[in-house]
Structure 1
Amino acid sequence: MSNNDLNDVLGWSAEERFDFFLDQVVEEKEIWILVNDENQFLKLYSEEDGLEYLPVWPRAEFAAAYSSDTDELQPKSVPLPQFLKKWVPGLTKDGLEVGVFPGADDTLWVTGPAELESDLQEALSAAF
């Protein structure tokens, strides 16, 4: 994906990026997160909403663009089956939300892990 395409997508609304995220994850069967050198995943806190969330991206390029101002974070792929089987229950247990595809303006679609799982299952069913 070219830098222009990447910037175009990052400029979309949170809802448009969410739909793109679903399409890409269904196609590629993986979700991207950011981890540090100790393999700890990035989680963010929104003071405005009073919640913690795991930011996720549909492709490595988008995660890398988000962390381009630091060398401490690298994109890491989580296979979709592993995300659904292990991450969704873990995030739910830990009380973390999922921040889907932060954009250039720092807007994102925040959803519960179970809701994201349902949306992904629905998108998977529609694809086949």
Structure 2
Amino acid sequence: MALVEITAGNVFAGANLRKLEVGAVVEVDDATAERWKATGKAKDTDKKKGEKLFGELLAPAALSNDLIAQLAAVTKDRDDSLEQVTKLTEQAASDKIAFDEQLAAVTKRAEEAEAALAEATKKAK
């Protein structure tokens, strides 16, 4: 579990998905804390206390082994999906760069052709 301070106004969490206010200090699982920090929604805090989110819900004593296994599988799937989204986003960014370079080259060639046509038309008159 990690204590984090909310830095963004668009964070919803807890069993009822309530909105967390900017500056609120909450205790969440490590994976959630890392994800929120990576996206700029939260930062580490030096405060000693914070509101527990998900704490009672995820207490191992309250869950059966089957539910714990299901939760672990869903969490792994979520993490894998987030990793895939990140990879695809990076691939799309590099593809866009390559496309922009090709578009610039074709545009330059078209502009040169138009200039040559204008010059030829001018000479023909």
Q: Quickly name the TM-score band, shorter chain normalised.
A: under 0.3
- Which is higher, the Rg of structure 1 or of structure 2? 2
Structure with a larger share of its residues in helix? 2
Structure with a larger share of its residues in strand? 1
**Which protein, 1 or 2, shows the higher relative CO under an 8 Å CA cutoff with sep ≥ 6?**
1
